[in-house]
Structure 1
Amino acid sequence: MTTEKLGDTAARGVVTTLSGQGLKLAIQVLSVVILARMLSPQDYGLVAMVAVIIGIADLFRDFGLSSAAIQAKTLSNQQRDNLFWLNAALGVVLAVIIFCVSPLIAGMYNQPKLVDISHVLAATFLLSGLATQYRADLTRRLKFAKLALADIIAAAIALLTAIIAASLGAGYWALIVQQLTQYTFMLVLVTASAGWLPKKPSRRTPMDGMIKFGWNLVATQLIGYLSKNIDSLVIGIRFGAVPLGLYSRAFQLLMAPLSQIRSPSTTVALPVLARLHDDEERFASFVQRGQLALGYTLVTGLGVVVGAGLPITELFLGQKWLSLAPVLSLLAAAGAFQTLAFVGYWVYLAKGMTKYLFRYSIAESAVTVACILIGSQWGIVGVAAGYAATQAIGWPLSLWWLSRYSKLKVRPLYAAALRIIAISAAMAMASHLTVLGLHEFPSYVAVIAALIAGAIVMALATLSIPRIRRDITGVWEIATRARRKG
């Protein structure tokens, strides 16, 4: 594929994926807004207790094989079929394991209700195991529109089902029904979109390289998952279901949508970078532009959330959740630092450097656990502060570690990140001062004013600072190119 054609495909993929995720994000936020007013913090806390545990098992269900399929230079139909059966088998095994250990999960939290919740949610492993390679196949073939459409439809139907269940008094079961519905419809939609059915597995087909890649990746993801979810685990065990329910709402309102937007950027970046593997100059250019695109959209937007945490909490969750405002602001800061380092993850996957990613993840996890355990002395706000501190420490270290094992020049990434941090901090300050001046006005007025204040800061920086103007122009060119070629 030529440079121009690959660039056009990547640009269209970015716009298609982000547009789809924008709609899915709207559904996610709508889910939080509606269900937070229909369900209690304890309902959310009970489901979150199980979700933390089964999320670990879900990493083994994927086993890194979806990324192995996407980044492979060549993938035969028989290899694809073998990967399908591997993921399906892992899904079955893990569903059985979670079903059997449900009393242990309930005992760890001292919550008997978690037995039945675990039994039902175990079915999600089978559903997601069957869907894994269909999603990977659509990604590998750059069928981003079909994948985005499946995400949107499944999320919308699941939300409608949850609202109906909650209105009928189902309580926390409404959240469980939502998850099962989403997984089921996702499986049906991606299977239909991919247009193939797996044949019998073959032992003669070479799979060792993909399994080794997957093992290194899943080991890395396991360490990362534990470090990223130690906050929920500590809160659930130490403080109980209600504080965890409160914390999980802030996390769901901010970090889950952020992940839904950020992770699909990998969906676009990984197959493109895999094609640029041997062209270091084009590879580095793509990574640098990717960081700018994420930084001047997501990170700057999170700056506004940092400054306007209180009215955002009131607007989206309601008065009974106002104690979460500082948690939301701290998580926004954590998400900003995470995003600045996220492009490094693309490099590790595209270059097949998962063993080096694993080694870094071990050190990062140790720092995370220490910060969160220290922060937990001050309740859920302290936990959020510890989580934010971890990400602030981690982003420069992660790029430094990457520079040790790859030819990628990280100095431009550091420089761009510092510019983005400076702009985001100025936007956070402007938003916060605006909110303070409008504390007697309705929350929606304060949120709109905060957004305007942030936009003004961005506009002034773009007009007055040439380097930032060039950054913004580069991001704008990506969007313009995609619209022209789309």
Structure 2
Amino acid sequence: MSLKKKTFWGGIWNSLSSVSLTGLNFTITAILARLLSPNAFGIMGMIQTTIALINMMNQFGLSPAIIQGENLNQKRLSSLFWFNMLVGILMTGIVFFSADLVALFFNQNSLAPLLRLISIVFTIVSFSFIQQSLLRKEMKFKELFNINIISTISYGIITIILAVNGFGVKSLVLGYISKNIITTILIILFNRWLPSFRFDFKEIRDLLNFGVYVFGSSILNYFNRNLDYLLIGRFLGAEALGYYTLAYKLMLIPVRKIGGVVGNTFLPAFSQIKNKPKSIKKYYLKVLQLISLLTFPMMGGLLIVAPEFILSVYGENWIPVIILVQILSITGALQSLGTTVGTILLSQGRSDISFKWNLFAVSNLGVAMLIGMNWGIIGVAVGVAIFSFYSFWISFYITGSLINMSLLDLVKYIRKSFLYTLFMMSIVYLTKTYLVSPNIEQLPIQLAVNVTTGVITYAFIFLIVDGKEYFNQIKRLKNVLK
């Protein structure tokens, strides 16, 4: 199969995976929000910082190195496997024995036993790390889709059953461990590569040299994405973090999944044409345009209907989340595009720039949140939004310089999505204000009317202005793939 066909079907499967997982996680979170308290979500938010560390540390920057790497023979892969296993076991020990210190940092004594329990995941995921990277390198996204769907459904069933039976926050921890066990088993079944019992450091030195910058960037990116959790949990408490965690899951995880589709699909493809910056620029701008067409209306619409949405889906216990969702909608729209920056940097072999960028981002984000903390979680959300706005332009200026893409090129490709979204938001706001009754007992009906209005309005203006062009592009794509 040609690279173009692999990329196309990879995009289809990754998109399907993103939509399906977003829907599943939304449903699971909505059910759990009715069963668990904001305090429980806050404690899980503290644990989430460890989970994020698991996902980052255990790779040691090697996944992009494997996708980029050549001559991946049995000896090299086996050496990588045993090196990664060593890292996983080491991280399990570090988290297990430092659990009391983490609990002390957050001033939550109940955190320590939960951290010791979840530390085993470091070792669990090490067993399937190489196999998962190979599936991505070979662009076998259908298999990864099946794995993610099965493991997420299993996680939802296990966690909800435990929550119903009074396990509280422990249900979230046990559900997460179960999910990773199931994922590991499925990955090994779908890619039955097995390591040899040998290790040669010389075989992986070049991959580690590339990975060390990715690893450094990952550490900085970890603080970039979790500094808000750390500061809110430490200084504002579990309940405040619970509200922020729900808003964060609701707003940023879906758009990051959409951006993740680009990373998972196009990093292998862009890596194969890394010496053709004009081709990368052409396809990258179209990808950014497509992402903006999807995420801008999602974020703009949710900003308008946040009160009806939160009260209808999660209940009155979560009213403080409304203003957080409205503020973070700005961040969500920008980050849906910003999450693709790393794909270009890594495809060009510039993990060093990624490291330097993340160093800049962490320091600036930390300042923004520390200032905002004077006004509580709302101030932190505002700080995150402000940082996201100005860092967005800087990151694309740096990335564009590698593929001869200007900021004007970027604006040209996303401006229609922005204008369509503004028009849709205006219509939904007018409908909400003047045509729908504000009766609190009819909130689900109001939500349904507003969402339907938004979808119809956005689809209408898109089809009128751009429909013909996109239908022609689909026809050309069909002809290419025949």
| TM-score for both structures, normalised by structure 2 | 0.93
| In the alignment, structure 1 residue 372 sits paired with structure 2 residue 369 | yes
CA distance in 2, matches of 1:265, 1:83: 26
* Structure 1 residues 293-350: Cα deviation after superposition (integer angstroms, max 9, x where no partner): 2111123222211221112212321221122111112222201111223332211011
> What is the match of residue 440 of structure 1?
439
* 1:226-245 pair list within 5 angstroms: 226-245=223-242
| In the alignment, structure 1 residue 386 sits paired with structure 2 residue 383 | yes
Worse overlay, 307-316 or 37-46: 307-316
Question: Is the CA contact 1:32–1:316 (under 8 Å) kept in the aligned structure 2?
Answer: no
> What is the match of residue 89 of structure 1?
86
> What is the match of residue 37 of structure 1?
34
> What is the match of residue 296 of structure 2?
299
Letter of the aligned partner of 1:450 in structure 2?
N
The structural deviation recorded for 1:53 is 4.0
Letter of the aligned partner of 1:218 in structure 2?
F
* 1:312-331 pair list within 5 angstroms: 312-331=309-328
- Of 269, 272, 281, which aligns to 1:284? 281
The structural deviation recorded for 1:131 is 2.3
Q: Secondary structure at the match of 2:200?
A: coil
The structural deviation recorded for 1:28 is 0.3
Letter of the aligned partner of 1:379 in structure 2?
G
Distance verdict in 2 for CA 1:21–1:278, change over 3 Å: same
Question: Is the CA contact 1:70–1:136 (under 8 Å) kept in the aligned structure 2?
Answer: yes
CA distance in 2, matches of 1:137, 1:108: 38
The structural deviation recorded for 1:472 is 4.7
- Of 397, 401, 418, which aligns to 2:398? 401
Distance verdict in 2 for CA 1:287–1:258, change over 3 Å: same
CA distance in 2, matches of 1:475, 1:104: 56
| In the alignment, structure 1 residue 134 sits paired with structure 2 residue 131 | yes
Letter of the aligned partner of 1:462 in structure 2?
F
Distance verdict in 2 for CA 1:431–1:220, change over 3 Å: farther
Letter of the aligned partner of 2:197 in structure 1?
K
> What is the match of residue 261 of structure 2?
264
Letter of the aligned partner of 1:440 in structure 2?
N
Distance verdict in 2 for CA 1:120–1:449, change over 3 Å: same
Structure 2: gaps of 5 or more residues: none
| In the alignment, structure 1 residue 212 sits paired with structure 2 residue 194 | no
The structural deviation recorded for 1:360 is 1.7
* 1:133-212 pair list within 5 angstroms: 133-203=130-200, 206-212=203-209
CA distance in 2, matches of 1:477, 1:243: 50
Distance verdict in 2 for CA 1:463–1:213, change over 3 Å: same
Worse overlay, 244-253 or 256-265: 256-265
The structural deviation recorded for 1:96 is 0.4
| In the alignment, structure 1 residue 117 sits paired with structure 2 residue 114 | yes
CA distance in 2, matches of 1:308, 1:263: 26
The structural deviation recorded for 1:74 is 4.2
Worse overlay, 417-426 or 360-369: 417-426
Question: Is the CA contact 1:435–1:450 (under 8 Å) kept in the aligned structure 2?
Answer: yes
> What is the match of residue 449 of structure 2?
449
Distance verdict in 2 for CA 1:476–1:175, change over 3 Å: farther
The structural deviation recorded for 1:470 is 7.4
Letter of the aligned partner of 1:419 in structure 2?
K
Letter of the aligned partner of 1:115 in structure 2?
A
Question: Is the CA contact 1:79–1:207 (under 8 Å) kept in the aligned structure 2?
Answer: yes
Structure 1: gaps of 5 or more residues: none
The structural deviation recorded for 1:474 is 7.6
CA distance in 1, matches of 2:460, 2:406: 30
CA distance in 2, matches of 1:76, 1:198: 11
Distance verdict in 2 for CA 1:47–1:401, change over 3 Å: same
Question: Is the CA contact 2:341–2:399 (under 8 Å) kept in the aligned structure 1?
Answer: yes
* 1:333-372 pair list within 5 angstroms: 333-372=330-369
| TM-score for both structures, normalised by structure 1 | 0.92
